[in-house]
Structure 1
């Protein structure tokens, strides 16, 4: 079994529970068709002609009062991100991994549907809701959140995804009384413990950095739910490199397509840049050069005109060049003589 260097080094003093292989990771492997079912729980039917399960990955994060039982109508933000394995299978089967078109790559980011709901009004929530990166925040009444979430799930089997246990998130969902229960609850912190060889609670930012995933404006409900799903997908790619039960030969074509597709989805989002589109990194031959606006008063032939130097500044520049030249000569005089004859000695040999 391959392990990271930190786990191999006995002098690092890592606890015995470093990198535990938890049931959550085994279940996640099975949902993606990368492993067997480790439990007796029925994890949904498989998709036709695919090893993927016919489910929804529903990532939820709630920002608000800690005790939702005592403050069900208190202002809060509810972030929801959903990845449908049917859409994932369609992307895997209809788009070639070797050569993806630009229009297809532009739609990769849209395979995950993200929503942010604002319940109630407060200045603090209004500011935080404006930081949502994946759409517009929707104002909604507390009694309408249940209907909104039910409409998103649409009587499908789903797996709940949270980060760090999501105690407050689960309390909020229990208060909604959806009438349906998830097939399984995946805590990304536990899923990533073996692939990242962790032994303490990483923050979401640290997990994303360890997986080399971009992120921005965390601690916003909608962004946390989305980036949690990104971390979950990228964990599967990282996990494949450290599995002890994978075949020694190259992975099968279907496994390669699965790993390549979820890696592309996890990395599709980039920090927005005003000067270039967020997906320009996907095209090596697509380089956007900064356009220089020509002003005839300040520029000539596309180059900025430097202000004319005064006689004093010109004299100072000549003096600096003279001192630098004398310094180089002094340095060469101190250099051993054999360095100058090294080329001749090599030629003679």
Structure 2
């Protein structure tokens, strides 16, 4: 008797649990939605910065600005030729005081346009590529691009943060921070923290790899569009950070089973802002045109098939009539082949 062996059982790998990083603990601390146990540093996260802003009175949420920054530069960028490069600098800002006010005042009295709480800017430095500058300006969804000199960027940035405590938000930090350093934006050194949304996303979304900004936003349900325009990318990176806080809190609740009512209200407001409607983009218009064109082609093909089928049936009835196969056949029941051909020509088939 032949020996039988059990087939090897294939073991599926459990889903990746994600990497808990320092960024996650800082995000919990800033918005105050986690207890002390889940904001305490560990060996994997390292110690937290000693200062992350002052809390609002009677609240665990921090009083600061969230400043998202994106730099659009050519692939050939290098500091030695910085004067020859066309650079777009996108900056989007959310004041946590707006979130606090939304929590305290509520939104029951009247509909709230949540997207208005984020202010957006797109600065253009250099004029070596007018066509590229025009394209990026045209794609910017929240106003007009502002041409400035390289030496003005530091002053404009200081004016936007107005001496407030702030955290910086970027999607992938290395190149952008290097270019901002080359542009002498020294105020970034005053940020109480610098978030990289790529790193923040690891634990809430249980990832072991990094996502593009478009894929990250789509995963979070954020209505992303018109990427690779610095002002748009900065805006959506900020929305992504807010929604990652919501997903982080949801995973904390699933894993550890706790949530406070006050934290739920804060998180609901963050989600309202992150998922708020956005302006219509050229990408949307093009997509709508493609859908309509496809619909029209589909309708035309259906009409063509129907007319051809009608012609085929008319011929069959005519043959039956000639052969005497149909005693109750009448001229009124027969479709005129010439009329059908004329209809086909009229519809340009």
CA, structure 1 residues 318+53, in 2 after alignment: closer, same or farther (shift >3 Å)? farther
Q: Where do 1:192-271 residues align within 5 Å?
A: 192-243=201-252, 248-249=257-258, 251-270=259-278
Query: 1:5-35: CA deviations, max 9, x gaps?
Result: xxxx9614767xx501111111111000123
Separation in 2, partners of 1:58, 1:318: 73
Residue of structure 1 in register with 2:58 after alignment: 49
| Deviation of the 1:313 alpha carbon | 5.2
Separation in 1, partners of 2:110, 2:104: 14
Separation in 2, partners of 1:44, 1:273: 36
Do structure 1's residue 111 and structure 2's residue 120 form an aligned pair?
no
Separation in 2, partners of 1:228, 1:68: 25
Query: 1:71-120: CA deviations, max 9, x gaps?
Result: 33321100001111112111221124xx3622x2x2x1110111101111
Q: Where do 1:330-345 residues align within 5 Å?
A: none
SS in 1 for 2:82: coil
Separation in 1, partners of 2:310, 2:257: 70
| Deviation of the 1:141 alpha carbon | 1.3
Judge conservation of contact 2:124–2:146 (CA < 8 Å) in 1: yes
Aligned residues: 270
SS in 2 for 1:174: helix
Residue of structure 1 in register with 2:101 after alignment: 90
Which of 161, 168, 177 is the matching residue for 2:175? 168
Judge conservation of contact 1:14–1:199 (CA < 8 Å) in 2: no
| Deviation of the 1:149 alpha carbon | 0.7
Residue of structure 2 in register with 1:101 after alignment: 110
Say what the alpha-carbon RMSD is for the aligned residues.
3.0
Query: 1:238-294: CA deviations, max 9, x gaps?
Result: 111212697635x322111111100000000246289xxxxxxxxxxxxxxxxxxxx
Q: Where do 1:12-31 residues align within 5 Å?
A: 12=13, 19-31=18-30
Separation in 1, partners of 2:63, 2:87: 31
CA, structure 1 residues 62+119, in 2 after alignment: closer, same or farther (shift >3 Å)? same
Q: Where do 1:114-193 residues align within 5 Å?
A: 114-121=120-127, 122=129, 123-164=131-172, 166-175=173-182, 176-179=184-187, 180-193=189-202
| Deviation of the 1:314 alpha carbon | 8.7
Runs of 5+ in structure 2 lacking a partner? 1-9, 41-47, 283-302, 318-349
Separation in 2, partners of 1:266, 1:319: 63
Higher fraction of helix:
2
Separation in 2, partners of 1:50, 1:197: 29
Separation in 1, partners of 2:109, 2:277: 16
Query: 1:113-141: CA deviations, max 9, x gaps?
Result: 11101111221122122101122111111
Separation in 1, partners of 2:252, 2:55: 23
Runs of 5+ in structure 1 lacking a partner? 1-8, 275-305, 321-349
| Deviation of the 1:236 alpha carbon | 1.1
Query: 1:219-251: CA deviations, max 9, x gaps?
Result: 1111111111111111111111212697635x3
**Structure of greater Rg:** 2
Do structure 1's residue 71 and structure 2's residue 85 form an aligned pair?
no
| Deviation of the 1:209 alpha carbon | 1.6
SS in 2 for 1:43: coil
Which of 54, 58, 62 is the matching residue for 2:67? 58
